Amino acid sequence: MNLWQAFKMAFKSISMKKTRSFLTMLGIIIGVASVVIMVSVVQGQNRKNMEYFEKMGDNKISVSAYSYYDTNNETSQKLYDYCLSLSNLIAGITPNAEVGNKVIIQYGAKTLAVNDWENMGPNFDWNSMMHVKLGSDQFGVCNNYTLAGGREISYLDIEKTNSVCVLGAGAKEALFGYTDPVGETITLNGQPFLVLGYYEAMELYSDLDNIIVIPYTFNRSMNGNSTINSYVVKAKSAQATVEAMTRLDAFLGGMFPKNDQGYCENGDYQVYSDNSYAQNMKSQSNMQALVLGAIAGISLLVGGIGIMNIMLVTVTERTREIGIRKAIGAERKSIITQFLIEAAVICSIGGLIGIGIGCVGTLIAGKLLLQETSMLPSAFITVGAFLFSVVLGIIFGMYPAIKASGLQPVVALRAE
């Protein structure tokens, strides 16, 4: 008997008992669909996280440094000057801070409130909330913003605490709509600020666009002169990131020396790379996908046991048929092949149905959980799930096939 005849017999056997075949496939269908949906959702979340880091910019170094006795933000100036001296490694540095007090933003008849905690009810739209950032002249470079019009804040604006600002795409749209804001004046808590420029949309998260950047020297008047202790440093390349981190760690270690017990008496600092953070997050997401896939794979194993059970029943039902085939000269390998093909066909059909359900489930989960309208499982997941279901059928069909091939013709022909 050739393979084509074996496949025809397998499909005939399945079609003759449609309900039983479908119930047998059900475990495989549920298992494959679960694996596809779970792994695809985790991969989609990982992809969105990587997009976030790409939008925020590669080669970023986050620095946290504060002194217990720094009342004039001297640490900021020293760190700023040191980064300027590393121009071959570092593209820019900016404080990673924003105004935490209540700010009323006005332009003409339009008014926006920032940090108005008293009037933020349960229905407050957090996505539309504005942020007044305290930045340096390198804010756009460090945070991967691109100017759409006008210019950035200059070093002279920082030094002289000029009342100027740069708008994110969301703030520009909220205050000016489609008109050019460059040269216009807005007020922050009644103080006029000249709009120097505005950024292109980041097109990822609205809080990246809903910003108004002012010189960080306004920290004294706008933020109660609270200490700035968080910074973003942009390295020029991935290779420069490692060296820049080493240099910054050594520099800050000199500013905040630690005693023999590892305790710093005048402050503390921390230097870490967003590149490393992104890779760690990616590794964690991949591990999560493996764990969830393994959990969902348990249902595949349960489905495989169901396949083995039903194939044993099939062997019992077709004992006389097996006896006749062996009596007229059928070899053991042809009997084994026939039952393995039948098990593999059942699992492959179940796998295909499961993949179809998984694709639909992934679309729904992507829309509900990740706000993606066209998320589909990758080809690797779908092909892998299908092949695994086929292999599962062969593995769990092996015992019934061997049992069928081992029947003695005389005994098999006597079976009722």
Q: Do 18 and 98 sit in the same domain of this protein? A: no
**Domain-embedded: residue 27:** yes
Taking the C-alpha atoms of residue 391 and residue 297, their distance in angstroms, rounded to an integer, is 13
Residue 269 within any structural domain of the chain: no
* 289 and 409 both lie in a single domain: yes
In degrees, rounded to 5, the angle at the alpha carbon of residue 359 between the alpha carbons of residues 355 and 365 is 135
Q: How far is it, in rounded angstroms, from Cα 359 to Cα 268?
A: 50
If asked whether residues 42 and 68 sit together in one domain, one would say no
On whether both 111 and 177 belong to a single domain, the answer is yes
Residues 354 and 208 in one domain: no
Residue 262 belongs to a domain: no
DSSP string, 251-284: HHHHHS-B-TTS-BSSEEEEEEEHHHHHHHHHHH
Last residue of a domain, one of 236, 255, 271: 236
Residue 148 DSSP code = E
Helix (H) or strand (E) holding 332: helix 332-369
Spatial separation of the C-alpha atoms in residues 336 and 6, rounded to whole Å: 11
Q: What is the pLDDT of residues 280-295, one digit of tens each?
A: 777 777 787 778 777 7
- For residues 141 and 194, state if they share a domain: yes
CA distance 24 to 303: 7
Domain end call among 173, 205, 236: 236
Are both 181 and 33 inside the same structural domain? no
- Residue 44, pLDDT score: 84
SS3 325: helix
- Flag whether 197 is in a domain: yes
How far apart, in whole angstroms, are the C-alpha atoms of residue 79 and residue 62?
13
Q: For residues 231 and 90, what is the distance between their CA atoms, to the nearest angstrom? A: 13
User: Pseudo-torsion of CA 206, 212, 213, 218, nearest 10°?
Assistant: -140
Closest CA to 221 of 197, 189, 195: 189
Distance CA 199, CA 178 (A): 13
Structural domain count, the chain? 2
Least Cα distance to 245 among 210, 270, 281 occurs for 270
Q: Per the domain annotation, does 38 fall within a domain?
A: yes
Domain that holds residue 396: 3-51+280-414
* Residue reference for tokens 């695994």: 388
The answer as to whether 273 is a domain residue is no
Q: Are residues 32 and 120 in the same domain?
A: no
Residue 223: which of 78, 100, 90 has the closest Cα? 100
User: Closest by alpha carbon to 337, among 272, 404, 278, 281?
Assistant: 404
Q: Are 188 and 316 contained in the same domain?
A: no
> Is 121 contained in some domain?
yes
Same domain, 201 and 308: no
Q: Do residues 181 and 40 share a domain?
A: no
Alpha helices (H) along 17-92 = 18-56, 74-85
Radius of gyration of the chain measured on its C-alpha atoms: 33
How many angstroms separate the CA atoms of 65 and 252, rounded?
Answer: 8
φ, ψ of residue 284 to 5 degrees: the values are: -65, -40
- pTM for the whole structure: 0.61
Residue 70 has what pLDDT? 64
- 3-state class of 46 per DSSP? helix
Strand partners, 264: 258
Report pLDDT for 193: 97
Distance CA 178, CA 169 (A): 11
One digit per residue, the tens of pLDDT, for the chain of length 416 reads: 566 777 777 777 778 878 888 888 888 888 888 888 888 888 888 777 766 665 666 788 889 887 777 666 677 888 888 998 998 999 999 998 889 888 999 998 898 888 766 666 666 666 678 899 999 999 999 988 999 999 999 999 999 999 999 999 999 999 999 899 999 999 999 999 999 999 999 866 667 899 999 999 898 888 876 778 899 999 888 788 889 989 998 998 888 887 766 667 677 888 888 666 666 777 777 787 778 777 777 777 777 888 888 778 777 777 777 677 767 776 777 777 777 888 888 888 888 999 999 999 988 888 887 777 778 888 888 888 888 888 888 888 888 778 777 767 655 555 55
310 and 397 fall within a common domain: yes
Q: Are 114 and 132 in contact (CB under 8 A)?
A: yes
Is residue 247 situated within a structural domain? no
277-295: buried (b, 16+ CB within 10 Å) or exposed (e) per residue?
ebeebeeebeebbeebbee
Which SS3 state, helix, strand or coil, does residue 209 take? helix
For tokens 């809903």, name the residue. Answer: 210
